Structure 1
Amino acid sequence: VRAAYHVARLSGFSQIITFDMGGTSTDVSLLPGRIQETSEQSVAGLPLRLPMIDIHTVGAGGGSLARLDTGGALRVGPQSAGAEPGPVCYGRGGTVPTVTDANLVLGRLSAADFLGGRMSLDVEAGRQALGKLGTSMQCDGITAALGVVRVANATMERAIRTISVERGFDPRQFTMVAFGGAGPLHACELAEALDIRTVLVPRHPGILCALGLLVTDLTEDFSRTVMLPLAGLTPAALAERFMPILKNGIAAMAGQTVPAARISLELSMDMRYVGQSFEIAVPVGRVAARRVIPSPGSAEEQLVHLLDIARLANRFHQLHRQRYGHASPGEPVEVVNLRVKAIGSTDKPVFVAEREQGTDASAAIVRHSQVVFADGRRTLTPFYARSRLHPGNRITGPAVIVQMDATTVIPPGWTARVDGYHNLVIERG
């Protein structure tokens, strides 16, 4: 998520939905101009109350198994073929068709270019497996493959609606950043279903998470439960309670040899209406450690400015209305937890935009092949080698772009351009 946000900002996008589709699952996250965090998650049905990036995961990936349930309905996932035996087309003993098999049979994956040509795929084995599934569905293998992709897309679409529409955000106002080994295969169809007009595919989508390690700051989280009525608080009283937490954060970063000039502290408060059993994290602001260390008194004065009670109350009501569709400004509000995120800024790689070299991308075409898109028709489609594309190049769909770590499908009605950072900016219409 951090790498996707970094790449998106370089390309001029601040409001993004990250779409990370791998072999077993898909992770999605919504960033309305900032990385959102949560302290309310569950693992295996058990609550997990630790600060973390707000990511929603569903069991849909390239290795998700396709089958008919007892009622005869097509199901895809959450069971996965994993790496062993993997999809049927891997030739490692798999017998149940997967999303990868479906994409291969539809021509969206190239057997010749998979993993940069280092791994061969058995197209006929995938075709036979989907043919058997089609027989059970009383249709042919191509129709079955389209059904597998559509069901997987529907699962991922619901995941994105969960983090957007159900939380008061309109996905049409966001850019989708697609990565993971399978993300760019499905991104445009998924974006079209959500009426998202722009998809950004990073230069190396299959290994984007590695970049995340290079652009991430050191962080530690601190909190203190206070259970105080907001109406009875003053900015000075809140500042007094925040100060020990701030000092703990500074000490933690200093213990990791982070210079004071590189330490900052983000403040937030978990708030709720009295009687509720859940809280909303309300951002307060950020302060620099160097303003806290030499003069605690002046630091408290700065905090008093941030901790305006009326402003915090209004912000809470706004967030409550956005997430749940209503707010009750006349109801008493209480502060449950005070939170501080200590941040140690790290050196990050510098990326420089390259000069555009013209729109013609024909030199990157490696072959033409038949591909089946959402309309079910076979279409002769150009395949481009991403390594041969240059900033400024434009590609009109239908098209498929292949590279070692991912495949990008550009359906009819979509157009891609290569920006100065070698990212693909794909737009509809």
Structure 2
Amino acid sequence: MAVVGVDTGGTFTDIICRTEQGFVVVKLPSSPDNPSRAILEGLGRLPLVPGQVMHGSTVATNALLERRGAVTAFVANAGFEDIIAIGRQDRLELYDLSSRKEACLVPQALRFGAPGRVDAEGRVREELTPEAARELAMRVAAAGADSVAVCLLFSFLKPEHELLLGEALAEAGLSVSLSSDILAEFREYERAATTVVNAYVAPAMRAYLGDLAAGLPDGTALCVMQSSGGLIAADTARREPVRTVLSGPAGGVVAALAVGKAAGFDRLITFDMGGTSTDVSLLDGSLSMATETVLAGMPIKTPMLDIHTVGAGGGSLAAIDAGGALRVGPQSAGAVPGPACYGRGEGLTVTDANLFLGRLAPDHFLGGAMPLFPERLPELFAALGASAGLSAIEAAEGVVAVAESAMERAIRVISVERGHDPAEFALLSYGGAGGLHAVSLARLLGVETVVVPRHPGLFSALGMLFADVVRDFSETVMAASDKTDLIEVAGLFGTLETRARQVMAEEAPGARIVLERQLDMRYKGQSHELPIRFVADPFLAFHNRHEAIFGFKHPKAVIEVVTLRIRAKVVTDKPELVEAEHLVAAVPAEAKLGERPLIWRGRELAAMWYDRANLLPGNRFDGPALVAETSATTFVPPRATAHVDGFGNIIIATGGQA
């Protein structure tokens, strides 16, 4: 059975197929108006029929960021209708007097209060009748909503009222998201916001996945990557699309961990530079997880990989602002019209700057399958430079420098600002544009080694093939250590584990299920929790972790077990990473494409171009050099040296600071 990984980005759609003979790859421009069209076209170019498609989707992300989701209503307990707008009243820009919160996804006219009340002990204080539920559903439908999020107080303890409302709303023809299904945890605002996001993007995701599934060959299974780095069935993604908001970037991080470990690098900073944005993550021997992120002003509280994103990619647009400063991004040229060198638009991008500076070759872009128009660039860069008193070359190098500065700041957020020294890590670079900037970034950060894996421009798609089928389950319990011993804590997992096994039996029938336990714990009186693996003595583990993070612990203080978490996993059959037995230092003649000029710090230099498909394990070469392949180009600047390891990765010694 052929297994295919698919990643849809803002500029390109990447497809990689694992066969018995190796990998078959397809890279083609995305179709933003209907992402499934590019995917189906790319699958049609494969030499075989896929048996399973594992897909990283940006549909939910884009619908949320661009505010193109469904007309969504919000149902809460009477008197609590506005919690979705009030939020936590945090001011992210504390000293910015002009700072404004983003508009709420649910306008006031679509917020409804429901009768009935459950208290903090899970007892019913006021009943909700079927007649009242139907009457409310009629009002919601009459208001013009297409989708509805239901979040009642303490429904994670007793969900019956939400279930009753859900039935009535579904009978009224609405798409329904219940907080007791999406996030069975305390903190009503975060639970409400996550449920609203799910409701907001669900119709678009349902239609998209329906179109994609309908276009696939009969018998082809479709799975979707979650933000947590695990796969779920397409039917689950239709119901709970909020779990896919970081779907595409998660694939690259999963692949980075597998490829990095095989190559001997346990400590990695991942650097994924695509057409629209750059995503970075820090891996210290394992995937780095987070339980909450903020997207489009809304907190999303689902398990996800800890990925930081900035709006700097190959398609990021360059412009001179009102103050005369050069800006790059976050606006992107996208797939249409794309960078100026694509021949359709005139907006200059990072890709245009690299081509103008000789770091891309028009005859090798996408393996020569996509024409570029470098003759358009001199006039455009001359005009950009003239508006800032720069030459065309200075303007192009300035575009590259500004983009790299934004990416450097992003990496410092996940490393320096969290107590990690980047110099102790290797930088693993991928994405269509990553290899052009990786060494320069590494030098800015003091990183000595850059790893460029095979198929870097399709690496997130490759990550789909390394992912397991995963579902995450949680339940708030509020158990204090002075009233609950370890045996009782272990017993609390019983109901949650039963639910996890039942759901996974439907998700992957007949498969072996692995359950991983985790506790969210805090000292009594604290407002936030630390995630702790369920080990022999989780209370001791919490004390030690609290000391490691905050510098102190209170061994005699009462600990609260706030939330139980279970990660249920079905381990999939993954691609085998085979190391070559024989290494050859000399680069073969057929791998040398000849010398071409490039611009480096205002000077023209001769750089050797190499064809990566013909490089052999063990090959060594020095910068300045460029390595061309179908999905990407890698730039090895002066003073850097490179070699190909036994797995086909290009390992670059950066040669010191910038």
Shift of 1:258: 5.1
Deviations 1:360-400 (A, max 9, x none): 11521102111123x33221110101011000101111110
Deviation (angstroms), 1:32: 0.8
Structure-1 residue corresponding to 2:596: 369
**What CA distance in whole angstroms lies between the structure 1 residues aligned with 2:406 and 2:613?**
32
- Whether 1:140 and 2:391 are equivalent positions in the alignment is yes
Instruction: Compute the TM-score of the two structures, normalised by the length of structure 2.
Output: 0.59
SS at match of 1:426: strand
Report the more deviating stretch, 343-352 or 98-107: 343-352
Query: SS of the counterpart of 2:608?
Result: strand
Give the alignment partner of residue 214 of structure 1, picking from 448, 465, 472. Answer: 465
* Residues 325-356 of structure 1: CA deviation (Å, up to 9, x unaligned): x4454765433211110111111122221223
Q: Please say if 1:417 is aligned against 2:643.
A: yes
Q: Kindly state the Cα deviation for residue 215 of structure 1 after the two structures are TM-superposed.
A: 1.3
1:313 aligned to which of 543, 547, 562: 543
Answer yes or no: is the 8 Å Cα contact 1:38–1:51 preserved in 2: yes
Question: Residues 122-154 of structure 1, C-alpha deviation per residue, up to 9 Å, x if partnerless?
Answer: 112122211111101101011111111111011
Deviation, structure 1 residue 307? 3.4
- For the Cα contact (< 8 Å) 1:282–1:316, is it kept in 2? no
Out of 277, 280, 284, the residue aligned to residue 530 of structure 2 is 280
Larger displacement relative to structure 2 (328-337 or 385-394): 328-337
Q: Indicate how the Cα distance of structure 1 residues 273 and 78 shifts in structure 2: closer, same or farther if over 3 A, else same.
A: farther
1:393, 1:154 → 2: CA distance?
Answer: 32
Equivalent residue, structure 2, for 1:298? none
The answer to whether the aligner puts 1:205 opposite 2:435 as a matched pair is no
1:271 deviates by: 2.7
Structure-2 separation of matches of 1:231 and 1:28? 41
- Count of residue pairs the alignment pairs up: 401
Match of 2:420 among 169, 173, 182: 169
Q: Are the structure 2 counterparts of residues 256 and 369 from structure 1 closer, same or farther at C-alpha, using a change threshold of 3 Å?
A: same
Q: Tell me how far apart the structure 2 counterparts of residues 87 and 177 of structure 1 sit (CA, whole Å).
A: 26
Q: Is 1:61 paired with 2:313?
A: yes
Please list the CA deviations of residues 101-130 of structure 1 after superposition, one character each: whole Å capped at 9, or x if unmatched.
111111111112111112221112122211
SS at match of 2:437: helix
- State the shift of 1:54 in Å: 1.3
Q: What is the deviation of 1:159?
A: 0.9
Task: Measure how far apart 1:274 and its partner are.
Answer: 4.2
- CA distance in 2 between counterparts of 1:327 and 1:398 reads 50
Q: Please give the residue correspondences for 1:33-52 in structure 2 after superposition, counting only pairs within 5 Å.
A: 33-52=285-304
Q: Which residue number corresponds to residue 399 of structure 1?
A: 625
Of structures 1 and 2, the one scoring higher in RCO (CA 8 A, sep 6+) is 1
Moved more, 126-135 or 143-152: 126-135
Larger displacement relative to structure 2 (334-343 or 80-89): 334-343
Instruction: Give matches, 1:66-215, under 5 Å.
Output: 66-92=318-344, 94-215=345-466
SS in structure 1 at match of 2:505: helix
* Most deviating of 199-208 and 118-127: 118-127
Map Cα deviations across residues 250-276 of structure 1 (whole Å, 9 max, x no partner).
Answer: 23222334556x322222222334444
Deviations 1:394-421 (A, max 9, x none): 1111110001100000111211111111
Q: Which moved more, 1:364-373 or 1:271-280?
A: 271-280
Contact 1:114 1:120 in 2 (8 A): yes
Alignment match, 1:385: 611
Work out whether residues 317 and 347 of structure 2, in 8 Å CA contact, stay in contact via their aligned partners in 1.
yes
With over 3 angstroms needed to count, the CA separation of the structure-2 counterparts of 1:369 and 1:314, relative to structure 1, is: same
Which secondary structure does the structure 1 equivalent of 2:283 belong to?
strand
What residue identity is the alignment partner of 1:33?
G
Percent identity (aligned): 48
Q: 2:581 touches 2:646 (CA, 8 Å); kept in 1? A: yes
SS where residue 221 of structure 1 aligns? strand
Q: Mind listing any 5+ residue stretches in structure 2 that lack a counterpart?
A: 1-252
Normalization by structure 1: what TM-score? 0.89
Task: Tell me whether 1:28 sits opposite 2:255 in the alignment.
Answer: no
Structure 1 residues 144 and 273 mapped into 2: Cα distance closer, same or farther (>3 Å)? farther
**Alignment check: 8 A CA contact 2:513 2:568 kept:** yes
Give, in whole Å, the separation in 1 of the partners of 2:329 and 2:640: 28
State the structure with more CA Rg. 2
The CA distance in 1 between the partners of 2:521 and 2:325, in whole Å, is 44
2:544–2:553 Cα contact (<8 Å) kept: no
Helix, strand or coil at the partner of 2:580 = coil
Amino acid of the structure 2 residue aligned with 1:165: V
- For residues 230 and 99 of structure 1, the distance between their equivalents in structure 2, rounded to whole angstroms, comes to 55
Q: Is the 8 A contact 1:199 1:427 kept in 2?
A: yes
Residue 301 (structure 1) aligns with: none
Offset of residue 69 of structure 1? 1.3
